[in-house]
């Protein structure tokens, strides 16, 4: 058995007139993520972690932000494609540990729904997806509510022989 780990990070500016998508669900808020896709920071961090663990570069390589066919795309589609990409190399997901950094709104009550959506998209058990949320105590771009950031650590497994 071959075990590999990966780490992902993503950040998006927040602005009025955009929807805030995190973990595959729309989060009610006056500001949303500004991005080429739907701007789901958590999903993008998970995609980067999975691709990195399989030594397959990053989300921008596979889904470039200058590709007009990806404009406004639902990030759940990118996540499903990412899972398929690592599966072509023989990998399955062991577990995911992630953190969303967002000053407002508070999202702790939405985490179970995010876990359910992500588990469904990736075809894994909900117990294999940890999502945590934190603020930055009003420091930096997250603290001033100008942006959102997410971190993800993953473990992938390949059965050999």
Supply the pTM of this predicted model: 0.97
67 labeled binding residue: yes
Domain with 145 in it: what CATH number? 3.30.1330.50
61 labeled binding residue: no
Q: Which residues of the chain have a pLDDT value below 70?
A: none
Structure tokens at 150: 């997410």
Please report the pLDDT score of residue 64 as a whole number.
95
pLDDT digits (tens, 9 = 90+) for 31-42: 999 999 999 999
58 labeled binding residue: yes
Please report the pLDDT score of residue 160 as a whole number.
87
Number of independent structural domains in the chain: 1
Determine the 3-state secondary structure of 45 from DSSP. helix
7 labeled binding residue: no
Containing domain of residue 69, as a range?
2-158
DSSP states of 46-96: HHHHHHHHTT---HHHHS-TT-GGGTT--HHHHHHHHHHHHHHTT-EEEEE
* Cis peptide bond prior to 105, omega within 30° of 0: yes
120 labeled binding residue: no
């Amino acid at each position: 058995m071959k075990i590999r780990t990966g780490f992902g990070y993503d950040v998006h500016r927040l602005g009025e007139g955009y929807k805030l998508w995190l973990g595959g669900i729309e989060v009610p808020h006056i500001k949303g993520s500004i991005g080429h896709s739907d701007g789901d920071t958590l999903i993008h961090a998970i995609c980067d972690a999975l691709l990195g663990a399989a030594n397959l570069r990053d989300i921008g390589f596979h889904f470039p932000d200058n590709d007009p066919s990806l404009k406004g795309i639902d990030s759940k589609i990118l996540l499903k494609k990412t899972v398929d990409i690592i599966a072509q190399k023989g990998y399955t997901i062991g577990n995911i540990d992630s953190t969303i950094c967002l000053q407002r709104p508070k999202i702790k009550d939405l985490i179970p729904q995010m876990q359910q959506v992500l588990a469904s998209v990736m075809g894994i058990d909900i117990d294999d997806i940890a999502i945590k949320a934190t603020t930055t105590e009003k420091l930096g771009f997250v603290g001033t509510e100008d942006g959102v950031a997410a971190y993800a650590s993953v473990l992938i497994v390949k059965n050999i022989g």
